[in-house]
Amino acid sequence: MLTAFVAANAAVSMALISAIALLTREPFVFPSLGPTAFLLFYGARTPAASPRNTIIGHLVGVVSGYLALVVMGLRDTPANLDDVTWPRVGAAAISLCLTAGAMVLLRTPHPPAGATTLIISLGVLHTLPQMGIVMAGVVVLTAQAFAVNRLAGVDYPLWQPRVSQR
């Protein structure tokens, strides 16, 4: 039953986000949404899957990736993953360092945000409008997961992770 729930909702989520991308011609679908969708449906009760951790984690990833681009002088440089340069190596390292540290500091761990920060710092998505679309995609996926989990009777939090009671 869990297998069907996770698989079906992962497919529906990616179809929804991809359809939005197709209709708007904007990058609503990007690689880190896959692990986010899996986490939101398979591990919905884990702190990392809460709306707070999902949205803030990806926001930290986007901001950290952008800061790394600025620091390394790559803000207007699109990706070329076939020819990685030293500035791009620095941007990747800086972005993941900032993302990991900020998520720990803010107590908002969401592992897929580590992929989001690399998508930005590697230049796959590097403009401010694209970063806004990334966050819009995260919000759409989170809202869909909230609705589906609640309708399925999963005790999915409204915002913050549930505090376990002993």
pLDDT tens, position by position, 105-164: 999 999 999 999 999 999 999 999 999 999 999 999 999 999 999 999 999 999 998 776
Domain assignment present for 164: no
For residue 161, what is the DSSP state?
A: P
What pTM was computed for the model? 0.95
Domain assignment present for 65: yes
For residue 116, what is the DSSP state?
A: H
Task: Name which of 49, 17, 19 is nearest 33 in CA terms.
Answer: 17
Show the domain range for 20: 2-151
Report d(CA 108, CA 84) in Å as an integer: 30
Please count the CA atoms within 13 angstroms of the CA of 164 that sit on its side-chain side: 4
Count of domains observed in the chain: 1
